[in-house]
Chain A
Amino acid sequence: MSAEDGDTPGVIKRFLFVNRKAPYGTIYALEALEVVLISAAFDQDVSLAFLDDGVYQVLAGNDPSGIGMKNFSPTYRALDDYDITKLYVERESLTERGLPEDGFVVPVNVVSRAEMAAIMSQQDVVLSF
């Protein structure tokens, strides 16, 4: 099946944003979030995956004031307003880092690695940064 030329109204694809990097050390987490917010305007089926060091992006209590950067954690709370509610955090990634399965800045679904792999396999478009 091939996408048609020009506008494709009514096309709903499954978009997965894969976040595997800790926030602040690089800009990827912040700029990924900016794309996620824009994607909301396109009425797509959007999911966010947080695994490996990406789990640190959604932990509550991040405070970058000491490194002179703006805290973008509150932006994750805006996702709900845009009907982006499928946020998946990988359990194994938490365990490997000595992190508990609670204490996130927004409601998330904690899923196993096998479940995360299944979620990934169901996507039409996978964006990683």
Chain B
Amino acid sequence: MLHTVNKSPFASATLTQCLGHLTDGAAVLLIEDAVVGGVAGTAPGALLAECLKGHKVYCLGPDLMARGISEGRLVKGIQTVDYAGFVRLVTEHDAVQSWL
């Protein structure tokens, strides 16, 4: 299962709720405002660092760029993808769950 999150973790508990429902093989993709949670040295960044021990975490690059966040500021291990990468992740996982 590919889980997508689109809310800033500074404004909504959605990221935490999503991370509490990951099973083996599940991956997380941060899109839209959720990308701000991927920054290292922040509380949500720490949650994602913990998540990275068992799951892959991705971040949509164009959404990062739009918000002025350089890839270098992301938690180590979070992989940046473009929209083509988003599509690839959707096809690689058997289903997608959007945490709205």
A and B touch in the complex (CB under 8 A): yes
In the assembled complex, 12 residue pairs joining A and B whose CB atoms fall closer than 8 Å, in A order, are: A20-B17, A113-B21, A116-B21, A120-B1, A120-B21, A121-B26, A123-B1, A126-B97, A126-B98, A128-B97, A128-B100, A129-B100
Cβ < 8 Å to B, chain A residues 76-129: 92, 113, 116-118, 120-121, 123-126, 128-129
Q: Decide: B22 and A125 in contact? CB cutoff 8 A.
A: no
A52 to B12, CA, bound (A): 12
Q: Decide: B96 and A126 in contact? CB cutoff 8 A.
A: yes
Cβ < 8 Å to A, chain B residues 47-80: none
Q: Decide: A117 and B17 in contact? CB cutoff 8 A.
A: no
CB distance from B25 to the nearest CB of A (A): 8
Give chain B residues whose Cβ lies under 8 Å from the Cβ of A52.
13, 17
Q: Decide: A126 and B23 in contact? CB cutoff 8 A.
A: no
Whether A18 is near chain B, meaning CB under 8 Å from some CB there, is: yes
A-B contact count (CB 8 A): 39
Q: Decide: A121 and B1 in contact? CB cutoff 8 A.
A: yes
Whether B99 is near chain A, meaning CB under 8 Å from some CB there, is: yes
Partner pick for A113 among B20, B26, B94, CB 8 A cutoff: B20
Query: Do A18 and B97 form a contact, CB below 8 Å, given A120-B1, A121-B1, A121-B23?
Result: yes
A104 to B8, CA, bound (A): 32
Give chain B residues whose Cβ lies under 8 Å from the Cβ of A118.
23
Whether B43 is near chain A, meaning CB under 8 Å from some CB there, is: no
12 further interface pairs, Cβ-Cβ under 8 Å (given A117-B21, A121-B1, A121-B23): A20-B99, A20-B100, A51-B17, A52-B13, A92-B20, A113-B21, A116-B21, A117-B22, A121-B26, A126-B95, A126-B98, A128-B99
